[in-house]
Structure 1
């Protein structure tokens, strides 16, 4: 009867708040886990991923013994596989911050965590190097290398576009290792999927960039944002100063 419950899942958090007095942590985890499984059965994989991430968020701060239990480890592997294979998932810092994901380090599944780190901040060359050393990991977990390459190309483009107002198409082609004749299609895809906001100047073979997706948000990104805000504030102060001067000229006249 899950299909009858599905339309009401938007109310789940408020329901759980009402049930909090009687709902144990294990109950909450099982609820998110079960919903994720049902979503997957219904072919709603992005939604299944989101509920599975809620499940893992409930393990923050737990002991290493609990995090390494087979049922938790299996769910962690599924979460990472979803993040890698789903085209709509391009954010990896929130996955890597989960304690259940960190717990895979030092185990035979550590390669999955390393692969997530490639998607967090790596390049096309980094993914190729990883695949060369860990080709069996793709086969073991049913991961498609070409799909992974498509994602890393888009993320590499996001990194290139950060803080830039324009990018030459030939430079993009070089960095994502695509032919100059097909690079426009990749830019169009990046724009349509929200990786960058901009448009293509076909005459000058450039991408005019308004903004770009940030693959991670750490100290470097905060400093970058701070510099941008300072620049905007300075620009606004100049505008206000100019308008004041013009107002005074009009009043004097």
Structure 2
């Protein structure tokens, strides 16, 4: 007998409840939470409302996680309901900042909501560290593929001598692949992790695939043309020998 949606809900709810009480299993708890929240799709507001507390917990766990820089919580109706909730609207706003904005937006939010941050056990210094890395990722998503050192300094609010340190941190966290051009004071980005994967990211991916396909087609045409020339040259040489 196939499992029903309610069975999946129960399974993932039990999983996130059990892992919640294990301090060393933050990743497991977040994994179960996201799977549980993903089971709420298309239900009425009353049913989705049952997951409100878990949605808040998922947001807070994502913000706290020092090595988690991507999630699809913004796409989930169970999380989306927080946006217009009188009690939890600020939690949703915090999630949007971490997934779509930069350090300056976080600092502005924290200055106005420091009590709220503390009530959820969020450490300001840890949040700054994570937002600096996520801001660097956002800078790296620029279509030009280059980030001036000065822009990194301003966006991350750091000193000149800290720029390369934060670039190395982002590389170590596997957020970006890049080269540092110290002479020209720019970072040349070859790959950058997406914080979210929405319509803009799909469009960018389609463009890259189209470019890649065009390059491959051009390469194949060049190889075939060279092969024809080579075969013709060999045929001419054969005729000359005769």
TM-score (structure 1 length as normaliser): 0.81
Show the counterpart of 1:62. 43
In structure 2, the CA distance between the partners of 1:148 and 1:219, relative to structure 1 (3 Å rule), is: same
- TM-aligned CA deviation for residue 118 of structure 1: 0.7
In structure 2, the CA distance between the partners of 1:50 and 1:30, relative to structure 1 (3 Å rule), is: closer
**Following the alignment from structure 1 to structure 2, what is the Cα–Cα distance between the partners of residues 225 and 68?**
35
Is 2:231 the counterpart of 1:248? Answer: no
What are the residue-to-residue correspondences of 1:15-54 with 2, within 5 Å? 20=3, 24=7, 27-37=10-20, 40-54=21-35
Show the counterpart of 1:123. 102
User: Which residue, out of 206, 211, 216, partners 1:231?
Assistant: 211
Q: Gaps (5+ residues) in structure 2?
A: 234-242
Q: Gaps (5+ residues) in structure 1?
A: 1-17
Show the counterpart of 1:88. 67
Task: Count residues with an aligned counterpart.
Answer: 230
- TM-aligned CA deviation for residue 229 of structure 1: 1.5
Show the counterpart of 1:188. 168
- Higher-Rg structure is 2
Show the counterpart of 2:121. 142
In structure 2, the CA distance between the partners of 1:219 and 1:42, relative to structure 1 (3 Å rule), is: closer
**Following the alignment from structure 1 to structure 2, what is the Cα–Cα distance between the partners of residues 154 and 141?**
22
Cα RMSD after superposing both structures = 2.3
SS in 1 for 2:160: coil
